[in-house]
Chains A and B, each alone.
Chain A
Amino acid sequence: MPSIIRFDQVSVIAHEKTILSDISFTLFSGEKAVLCGKSGSGKSSVLRTLLGLHAVTSGTVYFQEVPLTPASVQTIRSCTAYIGQEPVLGAENVRDALLLPFQFKAHREHQPTQQQLIDVLQRLQLPAGILKQDSSRISGGEKQRIALARGLLLGKKLYLLDEVTSALDADSKQAVFDVFSDPDLTVLSVAHDPEWLERCAIIFELEAGRLTQVKRHDNP
């Protein structure tokens, strides 16, 4: 089976500081993994490196067995949804934020319908009325779910989640868990939340930019 993500002895040095050091791991389609470790251990950097936001000093990052290069980075980005702690909506109101990626050439042909917008919001426990709301009045937890909704609308299969459940209440958290119970979706996340850790089959432990331990449990 071909891998979705493969890091092969990847090191990242930026501004004379080692951010990642000799990281190797593989993630297959449908797997749910979490990176954990102290702050500054390089968890978020793993996600950012995969997206081409950090220059790789040595080693190779593979996405679907294709090495990350300037030519392939656009493909990786268009297949991946990255959701940070405080996602940027990038538009005046929620509807425009959800439709934002469909302005770009890559997605212009796939405009979602009103019903699709409402359905995806509902899946994430967000009311349809939120569509008209001004972006400045949206809370952190809502932003995360809107960003997630945007990924789902784009039909993305790989989700890079950085502390996504931290700002969510129990119901919304459950909604997010339900979304990712889909075996088609692959998840590489950064989290501290024990509930989230429990649901991830693979736990990567990082310390000072090194991968120190890989734990797998069979029934997430």
Chain B
Amino acid sequence: MTTLDIALPQMVLLYVLCLLPWLLLWLIGLRLSRDIGISILRMSIQLLLVGIYLKMLFDLNNPWLNGLWILIMLLVADVSILRRAGLKVRYFALATFTAIASSILFSTAYLVILVIQPTHYHDARYIVPLAGMILGNCLQGNVIALERFYSSLRKNENEYTTFLMLGATRWEAVRPYFRDAVKAAINPTIASMATMGLVSLPGMMTGQILGGSEPWLAVKYQIAIMICIFTSTTIACIINLKLSLNIAFNPFDVLKNELINKH
């Protein structure tokens, strides 16, 4: 069973569909033509490039090339996490990279080597989409964790200082904010596991079913990916925050505000 192709004229038909929401938005007075146009164009170009790149990756299926792809994804994720969390990239880059690289490699390896067990572990068909999906979700979590932690530390500076003055070590004094930040980071994953299949069909499962897989197989893969996302997000957030504690404070446990971008 193969998925039916979408031919060029039909692709054009898809873009024509965009005219309908565009017209409706225009009628209610929302002038978003520019934003919509740019977004659709970006989506198309970016996915086109990814398509070309993935096609090459799959055709060559070279372990080094696959590894390089994961490395590039990690580096892009690293910079993107820190930018979005409002932290200065050059100070925290290594800490965040260590956190996401170790957690992604661990959970992807666990999934591929122990659970799926393909003939070749480095098979692009498995590691590329799985590592990519885990990383994409892990990224969200790390942005939330770092942003929440440092903004609540700044907001509660007096409380943090009070803890220090009452004899707390740096770790003891930041612990309440640390816990809150990790909780905020993993809550979306926990909530999405709880409603999985009820509210919407998960993207990966839909993709597999469209691709011709048995629903049962798709269900098992969906469970696998969710557990890996949950695991790697938790590990990455904790390592990331922990490592950042060594960077963001001066030796007297005072937060170095200059390492955090003003919002």
Q: Give the B-binding residues of A (Cβ under 8 A).
A: 51-53, 55, 70, 73-74, 77-78, 80-82, 84, 87-88, 90, 100-101, 103-107, 150, 154
B contact residues around A53 at 8 Å (CB): 161, 252, 254
Indicate if the CB atoms of A100 and B252 lie closer than 8 Å.
Answer: no
Given contacts A52-B254, A55-B252, contact A77 B167 (CB under 8 A): yes
B 232-257 binary contact with A (CB < 8 Å = 1; else 0)? 00000000000000000011111000
Q: Which residue of B lies closest to A82 (CB)?
A: B165
A171 to chain B, nearest CB (A): 26
Indicate if the CB atoms of B252 and A70 lie closer than 8 Å.
Answer: yes
CA gap between A80 and B162 in the complex, in Å: 12
Given contacts A87-B162, A90-B162, contact A105 B251 (CB under 8 A): no
Q: Which residue of A lies closest to B252 (CB)?
A: A52
A157 to chain B, nearest CB (A): 14
Please pick, from A70, A81, A106, the residue contacting B251 in the complex, using a CB distance under 8 A: A70
A contact residues around B167 at 8 Å (CB): 74, 77-78, 101, 104, 106-107, 154
Q: Which residue of B lies closest to A69 (CB)?
A: B251
A contact residues around B159 at 8 Å (CB): 88, 90
Indicate if the CB atoms of B250 and A105 lie closer than 8 Å.
Answer: no
Please pick, from B158, B166, B251, B254, the residue contacting A101 in the complex, using a CB distance under 8 A: B166
- B interface, size bucket: 10 to 19
CA gap between A108 and B159 in the complex, in Å: 20
Given contacts A88-B159, A90-B159, contact A77 B165 (CB under 8 A): yes
A-B pairs, top 10 by smallest CB distance, nearest first, are: A70-B251, A106-B167, A52-B252, A101-B166, A88-B162, A78-B167, A88-B159, A104-B168, A82-B165, A104-B167
B contact residues around A81 at 8 Å (CB): 165
CA gap between A77 and B172 in the complex, in Å: 14
B169 on interface, CB distance cutoff 8 Å: yes
B 80-91 binary contact with A (CB < 8 Å = 1; else 0)? 000000000000
Q: Which residue of B lies closest to A71 (CB)?
A: B251
B contact residues around A87 at 8 Å (CB): 162
B248 to chain A, nearest CB (A): 15
CA gap between A105 and B166 in the complex, in Å: 11
B164 on interface, CB distance cutoff 8 Å: yes
Indicate if the CB atoms of A104 and B169 lie closer than 8 Å.
Answer: yes
Indicate if the CB atoms of A150 and B166 lie closer than 8 Å.
Answer: yes
B257 to chain A, nearest CB (A): 10
A207 to chain B, nearest CB (A): 26
CA gap between A87 and B162 in the complex, in Å: 8
CA gap between A70 and B252 in the complex, in Å: 5
B 143-187 binary contact with A (CB < 8 Å = 1; else 0)? 000000000000000110111111111001000000000000000
CA gap between A52 and B172 in the complex, in Å: 17
A contact residues around B253 at 8 Å (CB): 52, 73
CA gap between A81 and B165 in the complex, in Å: 7
Q: Which residue of A lies closest to B176 (CB)?
A: A90
B168 to chain A, nearest CB (A): 5
Q: Which residue of A lies closest to B173 (CB)?
A: A104
B167 to chain A, nearest CB (A): 4
CA gap between A150 and B168 in the complex, in Å: 14
CA gap between A87 and B165 in the complex, in Å: 11
A contact residues around B172 at 8 Å (CB): 103-105
A148 to chain B, nearest CB (A): 13
